[in-house]
Amino acid sequence: MANRRLPDENGGPSMKHNELRIRLPDDPERIDQDSEYCLVQLDGSWQKIRFHDYHRIFAIPGLYEQLFHDILDCRSPDVVGKLLKEQIQRDNVVASSLRVLDLGAGNGLVGEQLRTVGAGTLVGVDIIPEARDAALRDRPEVYDAYHVADLTALSEQDSRTLAGYGFNTLSCVAALGYGDIPPAAFRAAYNLVSDGGWIAFTIKDRFLGDEDTSGFARLIKRCQEAGVLEVRSSERYRHRLNICGEPLYYVALVGVKHADIPAELVR
């Protein structure tokens, strides 16, 4: 990242790309991933924006891509797309037959990758209205539909609408484990996919270990033990760099759904 640092007016490090100026914290080693932030120069002043304040990030055109992909080198969309493509090719599945629910769709970077894989139908769902606005602003051609919804509190109309798509694939990339999408919401999305459908998601490696506090390690293990989910492919990889320039490792999984997740598995 050093070759992309520019000196600002005060001599500190800053980043410049597509007219956005971004600064990373001066003492990043003291900041956990869940608390990471940057400073962005907007209207002549520096504003602090936490990485998990997605509503603010999506509202600024180009910030998500510049921060997470250009500066911090996020690789998750490519990794998930690669693993899913390998598995459907192994089973001789025609990519255009995929009817994908993209959970935590954000501004459409993952959806764009799924279109590259060849997905025929692609529906985005996110709980943040600014995410939908950003996707329609930046990638209006990617999604067939995009819904702002809390999957744990769907109205009857929203439930019927989502069920009507007949999903046979679920994607969820870099959105699990920090409270953005809790296990109950993942279960609701999972259960919208038909039996025999594909499940593709990523999660930070520690959320699959013994020290996990998110509930996902237990949920994924229980789903496998109960025969609900058959994991076909799993890969630990570098998700992105943290603000110190060190690698953050995630696990990407692609599997096949064999049954709905019963409520008791998320308790």
Strands 229-241 vs 13-17: parallel, antiparallel or unpaired: unpaired
One domain for residues 195 and 100:
yes
CB 33 within 8 A of CB 27: no
Total number of domains in the chain: 2
Kindly report, residue by residue over 39-76, the tens digit of the pLDDT. Answer: 999 999 999 999 999 999 999 999 999 999 999 999 99
**Residue 106 sits in a domain of what CATH number?**
3.40.50.150
Q: Is residue 184 scored above 70 in pLDDT? A: yes
pTM: 0.90
One domain for residues 92 and 195:
yes
Structural domain boundaries enclosing 198: 76-266
One domain for residues 203 and 184:
yes
One domain for residues 162 and 205:
yes
**Can you give the pLDDT at residue 13?**
35
Q: Which of 219, 116, 114 minimizes the C-alpha distance to 171?
A: 114
| Domain limit, last residue, from 48, 71, 94 | 71
| Domain limit, last residue, from 35, 54, 71 | 71
